[in-house]
Amino acid sequence: MSQARTKIFLSGPFQIICDDGRDATPRGTKAKALLALVLLSKNTVRSRVWIQDRLWSSSAPAQGASSLRKELSVLTKHFGKFGLDFLDIDRETVSINLDALEVDLFDEQLLPDRAELLEGLDVADPEFEDWLTVERQAYWDIDTGEDIPGGLPFQPRVPSQWGRQRPTVMVEQMEQVGSDAELDIAASSIHDELMFLLGTLSDVIELRDASRQEGPVEGYILSGRVIIGASGLRVSAQLTSSLDKTCLWAGRFRFRAQDTFNAVEEISMQVVQALQLNLRDGHWSDIWSSRATSTEIWTAFQQGRIQESHTTQDGLVRAIQQYETCLALDDGYLPAHVAIGFCQLDMIRLGMDTTPEQTLKQVISTCQTLRASHPSDPYCAALEAFTLNVAGETEEACRLMQKVLERFQNSPELLGYHAGLLGYDDQLAGEIALCRQALALTPHPPIWIEANLAMALALSGDQSAWRHAHNVLRVSPGSVRARVVLCVLSAEANNLSLARRHAHRILDLQPGFTSLNWAWPNCFKNPDHYSWVANLLRVAGL
């Protein structure tokens, strides 16, 4: 799990926020300007002479050098009070160590409504003002497609260890054993189908084609071989870590000659399911992959899963639409029925549903039908548990979920579900422990688990909530849940400008969000949890 980092905001007012929420922003205008000059350099290093010319251009050289020395001394003492050591100063240069920081311009998506670069930073020096004008122009030109002479003055420089990034998967061409013409067609077809199906998961997997890849890849390599013999087609595939060459999964497939080309989709789907099982979705992947279905339904379901993971109102609505597409093609496709139920409950739990009682009745009816026809399915049981929670019967929901976990102890999703129910039942320590256990089960766990962990830590007064919320935003900048956590923590720390910044982004992501509809009060056994968040969101202007 990544270490906590100090956060620097360059968009909007200049701010430095420690990992524990303390505001370490220097008071002096020139101190802020000096740090901005270094951060927006090509390699986060500037010569002292260059900085002096931008901040004390009208002073004599000796006087300017003396002013710079004093400013650097003040900054060093200031950061020392917070235990921060990212500023490196030597006789000729001033540099900043990015490994110890998170900078908003470098690690979060810049949206069209972004705030002004270094808003309100007014330094009475024409050289600095000229520099800032150019930087702001370049900043606003991002994503316009226009060419900027010399390129952008700043580029994303995100250390690979920051956050829980999408797993990178490189698909190699299938090795062919033999020289049969059909062998070449089969190998090419399997590779193309794998690229297509993996492409549907672009929000959760970074896909690379080995034939177009230059240089090594830190991630996973999907390779295999195809053999055609008298008995038909034989295919082997394996998923290997590029770092330590560990084989995460290997599979073999045999098909009769007449099944060769019909088998392409089946092989590809099984490979992708195995990849998700080992890297991301754990037992949940096993559950839905065991349901025989067509590629069309499978693809629609995957798109629904991606939309659902965003946990915004629009995302949940689109996810339901995708799952309904699955059911229009196959009304008996159980994973889609279960997923719709969870989406509807999420809209209630997250305060998005305008008719929660009516929707809850609908989900209860669906759940009863599913449980009657699939009594041993763990996800049907989990759906029932959450209907009980939303109905205010959280203790019974926890008991039901505990029974499910007795059978599936190594499922990150089911552990995450149980953790959430424990939190609603006022068992925050249990929720935190189970969330951490779930996060350790797979190398790239579902991001909603860490978002829930951040909220549980915030409710329990643990300052590591800051770190986990930022982890979520690095992987999923559109996470409303993580923004709510940071908004609440900022308001509690009396950092109202930062709280309002997060409140603004919450409204961008979910128009109509208010402090009262941040969650469904009936879910909480301890009403103080709901009220604490609601009151702080109100302070932030929501």
Whether residues 101 and 32 share a domain: the answer is yes
For residue 190 the two structure tokens come to: 């399997």
Full domain range(s) for residue 43: 6-140
Nearest to 191 by CA among 166, 205, 177, 208: 208
> Is there a contact between 208 and 245 (Cβ–Cβ < 8 Å)?
no
- Mean pLDDT across 100-105: 79
Residue-wise pLDDT for 129-176, tens only, equals 888 877 776 655 433 333 333 333 334 333 333 334 567 888 888 888
Which of 279, 308, 325 marks a domain boundary? Answer: 279
Domain boundary (279, 305, 339) is at 279
- Residue 416, amino acid: G
Between CA 108 and CA 448 the distance in angstroms is 18
What's the rounded mean pLDDT across residues 191-206? 70
Contact in structure between 468 and 20 (CB atoms under 8 Å):
no
Q: Of 203-212, 216-225, 310-319, where does mean pLDDT reach its minimum?
A: 203-212
| 452 occurs within a structural domain | no
Residue (of 513, 509, 519) closest to 542 by Cα position: 513
Is residue 193 located within the same domain as residue 71?
no
Whether the predicted pLDDT of 279 surpasses 80: no
User: Does the structure show a pLDDT above 70 at 313?
Assistant: yes
348 occurs within a structural domain = no
Q: Note whether 205 and 133 are same-domain residues.
A: no
* Per-residue model confidence as pLDDT tens digits over 459-475: 998 888 888 888 787 77
Q: Does residue 514 fall inside a structural domain?
A: no
269 and 175 share a domain?
yes
Question: Considering the entire predicted model, what is its pTM?
Answer: 0.63
Residues 21 and 124 in one domain: yes
Does 518 fall in a domain?
no
3-class DSSP state for residue 247?
strand
Residue 363 pairs with which residues in a beta bridge?
Answer: none
pLDDT higher than 60, residue 328: yes
Evaluate whether 497 touches 487 at the Cβ level (below 8 Å).
no
Q: What are phi and psi of 242, to 5 degrees?
A: -75, -15
- 11, 116 Cβ separation under 8 angstroms: yes
Mean pLDDT computed over 80-106: 87
Q: What is the dihedral sign for C-alpha 196, 202, 205, 211? A: positive
Asked if the structure places residue 196 within a domain, the reply is yes
- Domain harbouring 263, CATH code: 3.40.50.10070
pLDDT at 364: 92
Higher-confidence residue of 23 and 296: namely 23
- Per-residue pLDDT, 161: 32
CA atoms within 13 A on the CB side of 302: 24
